[in-house]
Amino acid sequence: MAKQSAGILMYRGNGNDHKVLLVHPGGPFWRNKDLSAWSIPKGEYSEGDDPELTARREFAEETGMVLDGELQSLGSIRQAGGKVVTGFALEGNFDVAGLVSNTFEIEWPPRSGRKETFPEVDRAEWFSFDEAHRKIITGQRPLLDRLQEMLAPRID
């Protein structure tokens, strides 16, 4: 079975001036990567777990912000590696200067025998949809498209 992840695409703004919150993965492998490297705050869950609860937990772990409010489903997408990501949208505001991420430990440099601790997320930023399309991991772009469609003004 493919790995499953759930996350939240936070947005703010109005009319045609919306911004979305993306996070940049921490650690040495992502240090110098920018385009197609950012993500929605998300994390894995097991069969039988509630994707919405997972998305809320992961948002809190990766940003330090506990969310309330009703999440809007963005459906699921399959990334190139096969992972299925279930996305939710939430209008909100997050002060990126207040980012507090959980950490992970790996051997670094490789085969050195030394363990280093890195933040899971090293920064967060608000992006326009155009900027976000360039920054986000390619497989997650459909989540941006779905949110943009949800926020588009309806002309009857």
Nearest to 144 by CA among 125, 153, 131: 131
Q: Report, as ranges of residue numbers, the positions in the chain whose pLDDT lies below 50.
A: none
Task: Please answer whether residues 109 and 9 qualify as being in contact, where contact means their C-beta atoms are separated by less than 8 angstroms.
Answer: no
Residues paired with 44 in a beta bridge: 5
**For residue 14, what pLDDT is reported?**
84
Residue 125: CB atoms within 10 A of its CB come to 16
**4-151, what's its fold?**
Nucleoside Triphosphate Pyrophosphohydrolase (3.90.79)
In the chain, domain spans: 4-151
**For residue 154, what pLDDT is reported?**
60
Q: pTM for this one?
A: 0.94
CA pair distance 114, 41, nearest whole angstrom: 28
- E strands in the chain: 4-14, 17-25, 42-45, 72-78, 84-91, 103-107, 115-119, 121-128
Q: Which two tokens stand for residue 55?
A: 């998305």
